[in-house]
Amino acid sequence: MMKLQFIFVSVLLYTMSVRCEDERFAEEKTECNKLFPTADEAEEHLRNLGSLPDESDKTALCFIHCIMEKTGMINEEKELQAPVIVEKLKGFPNGTEIENLEEMVEKCVEENTQEDHCEKAYGFAKCIMTSEINTKKEE
């Protein structure tokens, strides 16, 4: 369960309700939640099922993008930055590590070809969550 929370919290970049003691990205989350208010229920749905309950909700999708952009995981050209993502996700939260993080991030970056920057950020988060959920099922 901690591994799944790690992936959710870090991949969504601490987007919805961060439930850990590590507050490295709390400021970005707060700023983005003011711009793109997102319900806590969406966080639970994504964490447990790998997707948002309403994938057409642009507010939730743009909330994810906002966090990624403010933390440098998406650059000014709206491109996902795999090396930055891996670096930011290492050891979060509280020193937790995940196997194959670099490969998972690279795969999910390559698979996301959406033109809309909010959809691209969500597609990335969904890819990571789905990959982690499937890994947990195999264990």
CA distance 36 to 97: 29
* Summary count for the chain: helices (H), strands (E): 7, 0
Domain residues of the chain, as ranges? 24-138
* CATH number of the structural domain 24-138: 1.10.238.20
Q: How far is the first Cα of the chain from the last one, in angstroms, to the nearest whole number?
A: 12
Q: How far is CA 38 from the centre of its chain?
A: 14
pTM of the model: 0.77
Average pLDDT, 10 consecutive residues per value, the chain (139 residues)? 52 44 72 89 80 94 93 94 89 63 93 93 90 72
